[in-house]
Structure 1
Amino acid sequence: MQYQFPYRYRVLVLLFFLTLITYLDRVCISVVGVRIKTEFHLTNEQFGWVLGAFSLAYALFEIPSGILGDRIGQRAVFIRIVLWWSLFTVLTGFTTGLASLIIVRFLFGMGESGAYPTSSAVISRWFPATETGRSMSALFVGQNAGAAIAPLIVIPVAIGLGWRASFYVNGTIGLLWVLVCFLWFKNNPSEVKGVSDEERNFIERNRRFVNHKQPFSWKIVLKNRSLRALVGQLFCSQWAQYFFIAWMPVYLQEGKHFSENGMKTVTSYFFIIGIVGVLSAGFLIDFLVKRKGLRFGRRFFGMIPLSLLALSFLIIALTENDVVVVVCLYLAQLFYSFNPLVSFSTCVDIGGDRVGTIAGIMNFCGQIGAFLLAIVFGKIADLTHNFSAPIFIIAGVLFTGSLLWLFIDPAKPVVKA
């Protein structure tokens, strides 16, 4: 009998390209950050507010977007998200100074909010529980692929046509994804004729999602110790992630005096390593959960890699050697690869039919952490005239986040079936 590629993996390809385009657009501003700072005469603190505007808006609208996906369906929310962010990516190229940059990036963050909670909700509907970690890995492989490609596209365009043109190019790519989503994607396997009865039954018997309305009390949910610890650790881990995607290119050029081409090479390899890390993490997480149980598997890969990530940042802050800095950055990316997978997988574990809402709550707090990092990093770098000082703070925040995994129990759903 001829082998048929499972339909759910085609959905995973769509999600892969969603996150690829997300990070292609998101990383664009940091890759040309030095050019923008120079043209608009921005200090590090001012550029931090530009970066922070995105994170603040992303945080504020994350929970509403997650709720909206759970209520009206992920397909409609995906189309809204990608159309909106594509528009404001293009409009970034039309900005004229600090004020317009902050406004446009804030609106860009509003548009992109909800992408990951909505994707998590799709995985809870389309994949069996045993494939949660591997399914999540596709999202973050796409994320790293987009971030790795970004310097290779953005810098040549910026050199040849100016930094504004890079936003025009990136903003048009999302429209192709919207067309495919509109014509092809459905919210549930039961809505698709191309899914075999065997695969549909397999998914529906083994997925985390439950197809009946569950009671949802905000008071009970927000008092849940596991959820509070989960959102707390993501708040901490996003200090690392937002350094990687927002400040690292500027840090390499202005703090370590890399050339623009040198920064491009280091940044691209950095995110390529992230692809390897995410692919490995997805299989390792599912393997350990299968061997040792859900509680141990999630806690182990939540706590240990985050502790090692903190150690990597501490070494980066202490050393003056550029080779050591680059090696530790690459190791940090490998360690970070586990955190988003295990965090969003835990949302699927505990979220029931409200995975988008639970992931939105978690990612809201994560993006508040990203917002604070964006502001604090630039402010401290300006005050101390040193890029190492804020990296010490990042290391301390990350270690605190690792300890919070001791209080997370993925085996106890927040929303009762």
Structure 2
Amino acid sequence: MNDSATASDRGSASRRVIHDEPGGKKAWVVIVMLLLFMMINFADKAVLGLSATSIQEEFGITNQQYGTISSAFFLFFSLSAALVGYLSDKFNPKNVVTVLIAIWAVSMIPVLGPAGFLVILISRVMLGAAEGPAFGVAQHVGMSWFEDKKRNLPAAVLGLGAPMGVVVASPILGWVIVTFGWRYAFGVMILISVVWAIAWMMLGKFGPVGSKLDTPEPAGDATSAPEVAPEPAKLSYWRLIGNGTWIGCALSSFAAYWALSLLVAWVPPYLENGLGYSRGSIGMLVTLPWIAMSASAVGMGLFVQYLLRRGVSSRGARGVFPGIVILVGGVLTLVFVQVDTPWLALLLMAVGLGAPAACLTTAVTALSEVTPANQRGFSLGMFVAFYSLSGVVAPYLTGVLVGPAANGVTTGYMTAFTTTGIVILIGAAASILLINPARELRNFGARAAKIDATTV
């Protein structure tokens, strides 16, 4: 009987291990859950932009004040991204994700009452502090379920959370705002966050690649466990974030996030006040840049994975190719501000501002390639902390430029988006010239060999 029970337990453990193998069914359940997590993350960001005109009218908030509120969202965004990224290496990232979304829900509750400039400002600061680590921690969990050469597609799927969150939520939230009022839109986001958190506690899990955290122990026959590559030695924190690949990823993503933060904060009011579209149509029109971003993210993820399978170097697949996509986005951004036809300007803006964001996911895979798994949380946290600084600068600068302009449409917005195009071009150059994972691995290996030689 004992032998039979042991065999049964061994079989059950074996099935559990196979079920949780890298790239398996459980891996994709986690990816889908994290995709929904990122969709909520960006719907939370978008709800302010969709409510911008209503909020400004109700409380008499100026363009400069609205720019301040939008930038305040990022006040502690970078700091919390770095801190929580580090903590996700020390604690179970599944629990870290749960705590983050719980804070999202709580931070929006004060807005449901008799709000005003100060209440909305504090709410956005708190929400930004909790949302800052989201992308890095989500990618950290997602990468724990896939080996290096199979990471581009799941990373791209997680990258879809940003555009899909806006594409799906904007028409719905726009309808809620027009029909019931802007406060109800915030209430909807609170409810969705709570429901997701409950589902995540039941389904979420950290993966087996590069870490023993939260993975089942093999029972009896060790051959039933999936093969996992041995975890590489730790690097100094300076070498983690001071190499060319990390810097190239950070600079190119800084540029992409500059564009993304304007999509969230300023494109909705620009469509109404700049291009003359009606308030009722904004919820649908604002999805166009995010649809372009979705196509770019999926297409880039699939094509980069194809390039790697064909033997293209990681530099070419994860540095040069994304850099070209960013370059095209920068050029189109510079062009659209010169176009007078509203529908053509909208189309060029959608691709120009939307496409560069796809580099965020290729940057994650490039960083994961050169970062030990037990330090990935810190590396990605610092990465998010740096690139998200553009979220502080871009909305505030746009508010300053648009607010006092004699003609905000032709002068302020044009200057703001021209500046954005230049920033995007700089990011493209950084991606093409600096991202080179093979070089970093050679340098790390040579340094490790040198240290070993001196200790013999």
Give the secondary-structure state (helix, strand or coil) at the position aligned to 1:66.
helix
The amino acid that maps onto 2:365 is S
The amino acid that maps onto 2:349 is L
Partner of 1:298: 318
Partner of 1:221: 240
Question: 1:105 offset after TM fit, Å?
Answer: 0.5
1:201 aligns with 2:226: yes
Partner Cα separation in structure 2 for residue 183 and residue 199 of structure 1: 25
Q: Deviation string for 1:64-89 (max 9, x for gaps)?
A: 01111111021111011000011112
> What is the TM-score with the length of structure 1 in the denominator?
0.91
Aligned residues of 1:281 and 1:337 also touching (Cα < 8 A): no
The amino acid that maps onto 2:338 is L
Aligned residues of 1:306 and 1:339 also touching (Cα < 8 A): yes
1:182 aligns with 2:201: yes
Aligned residues of 1:270 and 1:333 also touching (Cα < 8 A): yes
Aligned residues of 2:155 and 2:365 also touching (Cα < 8 A): yes
Percent identical among aligned pairs is 19
Aligned residues of 1:86 and 1:171 also touching (Cα < 8 A): yes
Specify whether residues 8 and 398 from structure 1 end up closer, same or farther in structure 2 by C-alpha distance, changes over 3 A only. Answer: same
Partner of 2:426: 400
- Residue number among 396, 400, 407 corresponding to 1:379 in the alignment: 400
- Residue number among 102, 122, 136 corresponding to 2:155 in the alignment: 136
Question: 1:147 offset after TM fit, Å?
Answer: 0.6
Q: Deviation string for 1:76-117 (max 9, x for gaps)?
A: 110110000111123333362222221110011111121111
Task: Give RMSD over aligned pairs.
Answer: 2.5
Give the secondary-structure state (helix, strand or coil) at the position aligned to 1:388.
helix
1:87 aligns with 2:106: yes
**Matches for 1:124-273 after TM superposition, within 5 Å:** 124-189=143-208, 191=214, 201=226, 204-205=228-229, 211=231, 214-273=233-292
Partner of 1:64: 83
Question: 1:27 offset after TM fit, Å?
Answer: 0.8
Q: Deviation string for 1:93-147 (max 9, x for gaps)?
A: 3362222221110011111121111112112311121221101111122222111
Aligned residues of 1:136 and 1:282 also touching (Cα < 8 A): yes
Give the secondary-structure state (helix, strand or coil) at the position aligned to 2:276.
coil
> What is the TM-score with the length of structure 2 in the denominator?
0.84
Partner Cα separation in structure 2 for residue 106 and residue 118 of structure 1: 19
Partner Cα separation in structure 1 for residue 323 and residue 296 of structure 2: 16
Partner of 1:275: 294
Q: Deviation string for 1:170-214 (max 9, x for gaps)?
A: 11111122112212322234746699x999625x24xxxx546x4
Question: 1:333 offset after TM fit, Å?
Answer: 5.2
1:11 aligns with 2:30: yes
Aligned residues of 2:143 and 2:155 also touching (Cα < 8 A): no
Partner Cα separation in structure 1 for residue 135 and residue 238 of structure 2: 24
1:327 aligns with 2:347: yes
Aligned residues of 1:124 and 1:355 also touching (Cα < 8 A): no
Specify whether residues 151 and 223 from structure 1 end up closer, same or farther in structure 2 by C-alpha distance, changes over 3 A only. Answer: closer
Quick check: 45-54 or 262-271, which moved more?
A: 262-271
Partner of 2:453: none
Specify whether residues 318 and 29 from structure 1 end up closer, same or farther in structure 2 by C-alpha distance, changes over 3 A only. Answer: same
The amino acid that maps onto 1:364 is A
Q: Deviation string for 1:287-318 (max 9, x for gaps)?
A: 12232121111112231011111111101211
The amino acid that maps onto 2:414 is S
Aligned residues of 2:71 and 2:395 also touching (Cα < 8 A): yes
The amino acid that maps onto 1:289 is L
Specify whether residues 266 and 29 from structure 1 end up closer, same or farther in structure 2 by C-alpha distance, changes over 3 A only. Answer: same
Partner of 2:436: 409
The amino acid that maps onto 1:343 is A
- Residue number among 97, 103, 106 corresponding to 2:125 in the alignment: 106
Partner Cα separation in structure 2 for residue 86 and residue 52 of structure 1: 20
Partner Cα separation in structure 1 for residue 114 and residue 360 of structure 2: 32
Question: 1:223 offset after TM fit, Å?
Answer: 3.2
Q: Deviation string for 1:261-283 (max 9, x for gaps)?
A: 22222113432343232221110
Specify whether residues 321 and 199 from structure 1 end up closer, same or farther in structure 2 by C-alpha distance, changes over 3 A only. Answer: farther
Question: 1:16 offset after TM fit, Å?
Answer: 1.1
Partner Cα separation in structure 2 for residue 199 and residue 144 of structure 1: 40
> What is the aligned length?
409
Partner Cα separation in structure 1 for residue 207 and residue 36 of structure 2: 19
Partner of 2:415: 389
Question: 1:284 offset after TM fit, Å?
Answer: 0.7
Partner Cα separation in structure 1 for residue 107 and residue 43 of structure 2: 14
Partner of 2:4: none
The amino acid that maps onto 1:375 is Y
Give the secondary-structure state (helix, strand or coil) at the position aligned to 1:239.
helix
Aligned residues of 2:174 and 2:282 also touching (Cα < 8 A): no
The amino acid that maps onto 1:409 is N
Partner Cα separation in structure 2 for residue 33 and residue 246 of structure 1: 8
Question: 1:59 offset after TM fit, Å?
Answer: 1.3
Specify whether residues 194 and 29 from structure 1 end up closer, same or farther in structure 2 by C-alpha distance, changes over 3 A only. Answer: farther
The amino acid that maps onto 1:229 is G
Question: 1:161 offset after TM fit, Å?
Answer: 1.8
Unaligned stretches of 5+ residues in structure 2: 1-18, 449-456
Partner of 1:368: 389
